[in-house]
Structures are given as structure tokens and as C-alpha cells.
Amino acid sequence: MHPVDPLLEILGLSAIWQRRETVAPPAAAVHPAGMPHDAPGAMPDDAPTAMLAAPPAAPRGQVTGVALPDRAAPTAAPTVAPTATPTAAPMAAPMAAPMAAPMAAPMAAPMAAPMAAPTAPTSDSVSMPEAGGVDDIASLDIDALRQRVAHCTRCRLCETRTHAVFGVGDLGADWMMIGEGPGATEDQVGEPFVGQAGKLLDNMLRALDLNRASGVFITNVVKCRPPGNRDPLPDEIAACAPYLRRQIALVQPQVLLALGRFAAQSLVQSQAKIGALRGTVHRHEGVPVIATYHPAYLLRAMTDKAKAWQDLCLARDTLRARLATSSPRTPPQGGA
């Protein structure tokens, strides 16, 4: 018998203790559920020492051979399973999610919005009106009005003009002819309706016994040339409207002849085409308005000259009827 057998006998463990060489067959029979059946390697060499330290002392003669292995089996299971499972799971889950979400959300949103907002208002905005405003324009005399137009910065057209074109003609005229805006030649000279379109307008004036120096005042809806002779934009027409309104109030014409679509639409506040506006007597602040084709258009559409002559005759008849019922007026003071 092994030297420790007396001690095993005292502890009541002699029934289950044998040397390792002879333990394999009985161990497989005693531990069907807890220990594996391939006994070699299942119990280490220092097993007697561990077993002496773990269980409490039992009375002599009590058979504990079955109970002791059952107590050792649960000891091995909690040691392996709980240690491996909780160590891997808590380390992966909490560390990946909280660090990715907070870093992406706060840094993308606050930095994009404040950077875009300040740059939006700088895109091709209309220039601010100069000091004085619309109410001030309504009180200007003809010379002050001319100076205001010459230095106007109420819209973007001031950035590309050579000269602001105020107008030309008789300040006490019964006729006022209003075009759309200066062209390239008008921008260089500073006078409305020069070049080929101006020559055609002069012929129209002669047919009415008029000329630029007597009986008519000529101006435009916008006082500065639109780049590339493009159509004037609505905000540009609106910026110049106080100037035109003050010119009409100062000259006090008896009839307004609107030359072209933009002039007619601006005076009668309509979006209709020129073909629909012509042939009818409209009103602008009580003054009769006759719409006709622009001289530059008539240079391209010679067949419409007859229609333009009809419009001139309508304007002349309207003027004669108005003069027959109106009282004499005092023309404004100032140079033409």
C-alpha cells in the first residue's frame, strides 16, 4: 500500500484512493456524468494534496467515494465558463459603440451649417440705394435729379456703365417718348436714341412736326446700359422707377409714347406683349399712354412700320383731345 494510505484510512478515503496506474477503470465507472471516461490525464499527480485541502473531515467508516467527485465537478465548471465568457463580451460591446457615435454626430453638423450661412448673401446681390431714398427723389428739381442719376448706385448697372443717360429734349414738352434702356452707343455718348435706331426715331418725330429740341422729351425706363444689351431685369427697372416717375412729374407731358415692350409694361403695369398693348389708350398716373414698337425692332421688321405709324396717329389724336380740355401749364426750370 502507498505510504499515505494510513492517512487516507483515517479520513475515510481509502476506498477511492489508488495509485494512478490502477485508477483509470474504476474512475470511469464512478464518474459517468462529471468526469470524462478517458481517465488517463483527467486527474493530475498532485490530486491527493488538493483533495486533502478541499473537503471537510468525514466520520470514519462513512463512504464518501461517490460524493467527493461530485463536489469536485462543479468546481471545475464555474472556473472555466464564467471566466471566458464575461471577459470577451463586455470589452468589445461598450468600447466600440460609444466612441464611434459621439465623435461623428457633433463634429459634422455644427461645423457645416455655420460655415455655409455667412457666404449665401454675397451672391450677385443688388447694390444698396444711396442716401436719400425714394422720398428724397420725389422732391428733387430737374437739375438735382440729373445729378442724382449721374451718380446713381441703386442697382448693379452702375458697375458697368460709362455714362448714365438721363434724357434729352424740351422740359415743357407735350410729348414724352420713353424707351427701354441705353445701348452701346448711348452709353458712350450719354444721350438716348442715337445710332440707327435714333435716326429712325428722328424720322418719326419729323412726321409729327417735332424734333429733339422742341415739343418732345426723350428718356428710358432704365438710365444705365444693361451689359451686352440684354433686357433690363425687374429689380433694375424698379430701381430706376422713381427717376422716371419724377421726370414725368417735372415735365408734365400730355401724352406718353412707350417705345417697346419693357417701357409699355412698366408704364401700364402689365405683363402683356407689345402686340396686345398697342392700339389702346392706357393711363399712367392720369397721363394717356400709347404703346408702340421700339425703333430698333422696326429696323428688323420693316413691315411693322405701318403699325407704328398707326400708333403715332393714335397718340397725336389723343394729345389734341387732351389739349382741347386742359389749362396751360408752367414748364419746370432747368437745362435740358
**Per-residue pLDDT of the chain in tens (336 residues, 90 and over written 9):** 445 556 556 666 655 555 544 544 444 444 444 444 444 444 444 444 444 444 444 444 444 444 444 444 444 444 444 444 444 444 444 444 444 444 444 444 444 444 444 333 333 333 334 445 666 899 999 999 999 999 999 999 999 999 999 999 999 999 999 999 999 999 999 999 998 999 999 999 999 999 999 999 999 999 999 999 899 999 999 999 999 999 999 999 999 999 999 999 999 999 999 999 999 999 999 999 999 999 999 999 999 999 999 999 999 999 999 999 877 766 666 655
**Assigned superfamily of 133-323:** Uracil-DNA glycosylase-like domain (3.40.470.10)
- Residue from 37, 70, 34, 35 nearest 51 by CA: 70
User: Rounded CA gap, 291 and 272, in Å?
Assistant: 11
User: Rounded CA gap, 124 and 157, in Å?
Assistant: 12
Placement of cell 389749362 in the chain: 327
Query: How many CB atoms are located within 10 Å of the residue 322 CB?
Result: 15
- Give CATH 3.40.470.10 domain extents, the chain: 133-323
The set of cell numbers assigned to 286 is 392720369
- Contacts of the segment 302-310: beta carbons below 8 A, 24+ positions apart: 307/278, 308/204, 309/207, 310/279
The number of C-alpha atoms within 13 Å of 336 and in the hemisphere containing its C-beta is 17
| Residues 193-226: tens digit of each pLDDT | 998 999 999 999 999 999 999 999 999 999 999 9
Looking at the DSSP assignment, which residues form a beta bridge with residue 62?
Answer: none
Local structure of residue 211 (DSSP, 8 states): B
3-state secondary structure of 243: helix
Helices assigned H by DSSP within the chain: 5-11, 20-30, 47-53, 67-116, 133-137, 142-150, 184-189, 195-207, 234-251, 261-268, 274-277, 295-300, 305-323
Average pLDDT, the chain: 74
